[in-house]
Amino acid sequence: MAIFKGAGVAIVTPFTQNNEVDYEKLGELIEYQIAKGTDSIVICGTTGEASTLTHEEHLECIRYTANKVAKRIPVIAGTGSNCTDTAIYLSKEAQGYGADALLVVTPYYNKATQKGLIAHFTAVAEAVTIPIILYNVPGRTGCNILPQTVAALVMNVKNIVGIKEASGNIAQVAEIMQLTEGKIDLYSGCDEMVVPVMSLGGIGVISVLSNIAPKETHDIAMKFLEGDFVGSRDLQLKLLPLINALFCEVNPIPVKKALNLMGFQVGGLRMPLTEMESANAERLVNEMNAVGFKTV
């Protein structure tokens, strides 16, 4: 059974004026997401600025989220690292805190061979019992999981059950589904490609867009799953200019700006990320207004 179907929000990590994690605000964002129909909370992913959280903050965000959600929808914890031992440590702790599944990114910077990727993901999976979703985002990690490697992992490691595919390569997505015989929970990792990925057997998206448009992102996925392909496609295309604006600078710079423009007051970013350029911010405001998102 799939961990979730539909739209999982790759939720931001809000910060106070002192640049500390704002847990009260995180709780507000979680409640907003659940009220708007989000199908899963993904905590401490790329959008959550996990790379600049201390291990203590990282684990506390997972613990807090699991407790706040209280099994109303699945909580998926980002626990990947470029160090296998660290990924194992974070994964075991997240399971202990009550996470329903893990999102484990490919090792970054030091990267790995395909043999190394199999060893890495297998070691993490064997250290826990909850399901694991592989996270392939070579544009950020410099490391691509080849379809043959995905198939080897899914076919041979019981609790590796899914993949968040953010390579942007639809041919690679197709090959993954062919080699795994469809025995994988496929999630789009690109908001602009939800419909194309679902047309190949995907069951949803792990989304940046969901932070500001949870209902609409849920609807793109669920309309497709319910057979309303035209409605799903039309909503995808309607939101495409906004999606493009959300990625006109490196994620999560624009989406945090968007949330602040909507009045959520999620704070700033941790360096080396910096505030959005004024011209790009204007573009973001225009695209938000164009689809009915009021800005303050």
The whole-angstrom separation of Cα 296 and Cα 294 is 7
Q: Residue 135: beta bridge partners?
A: 105, 164
Query: Residue 18 is which amino acid?
Result: N
Catalytic position from the list 135, 187, 223, 256: 135
Q: Which residue has the tokens 């407790």?
A: 67
Residue 135 a catalytic site member: yes
The Cα–Cα gap between 159 and 196 comes to 26
Distance of alpha carbon 27 from alpha carbon 29, whole angstroms:
5
The 10 Å CB-count burial string (b at 16+, else e) for 210-228 is: bbbbbebbbbbbbbbeeee
Neighbour count for residue 266 (Cβ, 10 Å):
24
Residues facing 75 on adjacent strands? 41
* Among 25, 164, 223, 256, the one annotated catalytic: 164
Q: Which two tokens stand for residue 74?
A: 């699945």
d(CA 38, CA 62): 18
CA atoms of 153 and 161, how far apart (whole Å): 9
Q: Which residues contact 34 (CB under 8 A, 6 or more apart)?
A: 41, 69, 72, 73
Can you say whether the dihedral through the CA atoms of 265, 266, 269, 274 is positive or negative?
negative
Residue with tokens 């057997």: 201
Tell me the CA distances in angstroms from 20 to 11, 16, 54, 63, one per residue in order. 16, 5, 11, 16
Contact 293, 284 (CB under 8 A): no
The residues assigned a catalytic role are: 135, 164
